Chains A and B, each alone.
Chain A
Amino acid sequence: GEDVEQSLFLSVREGDSSVINCTYTDSSSTYLYWYKQEPGAGLQLLTYIFSNMDMKQDQRLTVLLNKKDKHLSLRIADTQTGDSAIYFCAESNDYKLSFGAGTTVTVRA
């Protein structure tokens, strides 16, 4: 199957950490990705993780991968107003990516 599921909304206070969760179904996915979409724009690749890794850190972003549970998460430390956007989880299948519906993150002052 190629279903990627994520919660639709997340509200977080500025300065706190955000955690966005995702579950996927294809255990053979080579890479898993997080994309960010700002209003009026396309999707921008934030980060990706190879399937044989369980963690990847990139500045304020931390990706955790639990292959057993097919669970992927993205943690944003010190969330800023500029982090307000829709975040998409995606898995690679063969030659294409399958995306979730996106999590809308709203950062409140």
Chain B
Amino acid sequence: ETGVTQTPRHLVMGMTNKKSLKCEQHLGHNAMYWYKQSAKKPLELMFVYSLEERVENNSVPSRFSPECPNSSHLFLHLHTLQPEDSALYLCASSQGAGAQLNYGYTFGSGTRLTVV
């Protein structure tokens, strides 16, 4: 158990479906992140929440909608996705940011998403 739990582990959805990815951390961290991992590409930062407020949205298409109801939970709502959105979606959390990031991030195991 890494301290950051993501569900589901695997998800197959059609292009017209609506689904949500869930991330939960019990580490007392105050920042949470969504990353997209595609094969042989750098991890793409999608969203950053610090103290439950979104601080960055990296030009992510509106078919991805994040929600952070409290400091322990982060969701990624998905609707009308495209096949190129198939990837591993990783959630991470950290205590502090910027110069305080000496301990880096704690990652979840990811959700493997396949859009058909």
Contacts and interface: CB of A to CB of B under 8 A. Distances in A.
Contacts, number: 72
A27 B106 CA distance: 24
Interface of A: 3-4, 8, 30-31, 33, 35, 40-45, 48, 50, 88, 90, 92, 94-102
B109 A95 contact: no
Interface in B51-83: 55-56
Contacts of B108: 42
Nearest to A8: B40
Contact of A101 (B4, B41, B102): B41
Given A30-B99, A31-B101, A96-B48, A45 B106 contact: yes
Interface residues on B, range: 20 to 34
6 contacts: A42-B109, A43-B92, A45-B103, A45-B106, A94-B97, A98-B42
A102 to B, nearest CB: 8
Interface of B: 2, 4, 6, 31, 33, 35, 40-43, 45, 48, 50, 55-56, 90, 92, 97-99, 101-110
Contacts of A48: 102-104
A99 B88 CA distance: 15
Residue of A35, A43, A100 contacting most chain B CB atoms (<10 Å): A43
A35 B10 CA distance: 23
A84 B56 CA distance: 34
A43 B98 contact: no
Nearest to B35: A99
A33 B104 contact: yes
A29 to B, nearest CB: 10
A101 B31 contact: no
